[in-house]
Structure 1
Amino acid sequence: MRVKVSLSADEPFKISFNHQYYLASAIYNIVKEGNPNFAEKLHKIRDFKFYTFSTLKLPRRVIYKDYLESYDGKAYFYVSSPNKEFIECFVNGLFEKGRIRVGNIIFHIERISLLESPKEFKILKTLSPIYLKTKVEEDGRLKTKDLLPTHSKFYENLKKNLKRKYEKYFNKECNLDFDFEILKFKPKRVKIKGGYLTCSDLVFKVWGDYELIKFGYDCGFGEKNSLGFGMVEVSK
């Protein structure tokens, strides 16, 4: 399930490119407003939370080096999950609260739209960058290394990660498969709390089992989906 949330601020605003952590906190607080018990259970989960969201989109904007500036105070973002209860709690929280705070900006909720799932998946484009990591040995010690599509492990890990999430969510073995070919790639560095993650904005061709690809569409591709990584849309 996927919803589009349309927002308006009282005046034009500036927002850093590195706003994902603030938006993640805002989404959790909205879910808590909609259902405190569900939010508490969600907070205790340490692995997959099975939802993702896009970065904030500004229809009328000017782009600077470190931030975006809105001309008209309008913005929107998407939230997606295979878990119907999560979407219901989030939407109920939006109606209850009537506004959402992202960093120091307060937005009013203008519209909440429930979007239909695509009937097929051919070309996908990221709405928030895909993050993957691996372990490498350096100086006799294992260290975490962020992965880009220039590394062969990126392809292997993306597929394995989605299948692990599928098995965890449905509590059954994943006998489905998919494959993909990257058509466009742009590396990004995103600040989360005090550190930076190296990730990828992609356009990629995808084929395989519809059910598995749709699951990735709903909960996100790659890691750290609940921090706003790995949301995709069908490219037109």
Structure 2
Amino acid sequence: MRIKLKITFDELELPLNYNSVIQGFIYNNISDKRFRDFLHNKGFKYEKRNFKLFTFSRLEGIFKINKKNNRISFTSPIYLTISSSVDEFTNDFGNTILNEENLYLGKNKIRVESIQTNNKKIKSNNIKIKMLSPVTTYSTVDLRGHKRTIYHSPGEELFTKLIYENLQKKYKLIYGEEIEDDKFDIIPKKTKSVLTKYKDFIIKGWLGELELKGDEKLLQIAYDVGLGSKNPQGYGNFEVI
């Protein structure tokens, strides 16, 4: 399920790289403590990897950047999209948000004016998408005893290969079986690179428009839980155009 929040406020100022603030806002508004702790600390295990199976967009709205202090100020209202394949997560979060009077985004008091829900079903093996948060994928290599992260770009073979392998793992985790269709492709249309920072890590990602080709179930998973890596940190959320 996908939910879109319309958020209003008197004032809203955040760090320029606010992904961790949004992530904290999401975790803090899951009322089931046992599930919240599970999602935050563990997630759904696949082999040696753990997946949280949710993602979220950037904040959509009018904003102004203060480069001197690396802050961003928004004009009310703004919109936030959160998506997951786990109904327990979206249902709990949505109900909590609706019933909580004192909501804060960072140190800013906010109001959720409305929640739109969307259970969109992907019914095509070829979709055009617009990224709502950057898509990122990378390799970690060892250079002279030091680990280095190499980020890949749309159009590179490794970009498509690594994203496909990531989706295969999510597919097996959700459906309990291997995906039979091995045809998958990502075609960049209009893209631009962006450098973001999550806590102390610099992350290179891509915004813009892409074309995805593959099995409908695989594309559905990408739509529900995110394309590429670092989805629960606010990467890989998109809309179909």
Q: Same fold (TM over 0.5)?
A: yes
RMSD: 2.1
User: Which stretches in structure 2 are left out of the alignment for 5+ residues?
Assistant: 44-49
**In structure 1, what is the equivalent of residue 36 of structure 2?**
39
Comparing 192-201 and 176-185, the one that deviates more: 176-185
After superposing on structure 2, the runs of 4+ consecutive aligned residues of structure 1 that deviate more than 6 Å are none
Q: How does 1:164-175 map to 2 (within 5 A)?
A: 164-175=169-180
For residue 209 of structure 2, what is the aligned residue in structure 1? 203
Which of the two has greater strand per residue?
A: 2
Distance (whole Å) between structure 2 residues aligned to residue 141 and residue 48 of structure 1: 26
Query: 1:70 aligned to 2:81?
Result: no
| TM-score (norm: length of structure 2) | 0.86
The residue that corresponds to 1:30 in the other structure is 29
- Which amino acid letter does the alignment assign opposite residue 4 of structure 2? K
Letter aligned with residue 30 of structure 1: N
What percent identity do the matched residue pairs reach? 27
Unaligned 5+ segments in structure 1 are none
TM norm structure 1: 0.88
State the shift of 1:108 in Å: 0.8
Q: 1:148 to 1:102 in 2, by over 3 A?
A: farther
SS in 2 for 1:111: strand
**Alpha-carbon deviations, 1:134-157, whole Å to 9, x = none?**
023423655332223364311110
Alignment pair present for 1:100 and 2:99: no
Deviation at 1:190, TM superposition (A): 1.2
Residues 1-236 of structure 1: pairs in structure 2 closer than 5 A: 1-9=1-9, 11-31=10-30, 33=31, 35-45=32-42, 47-58=50-61, 60-62=62-64, 65=67, 66-71=70-75, 73-120=76-123, 122-139=127-144, 141-149=146-154, 151-177=156-182, 178-235=184-241
Q: Per-residue CA shift, 1:147-169, capped at 9, x if unaligned?
A: 23364311110111111111122
For 1:99 and 1:169, the matched residues in 2 are separated by 35
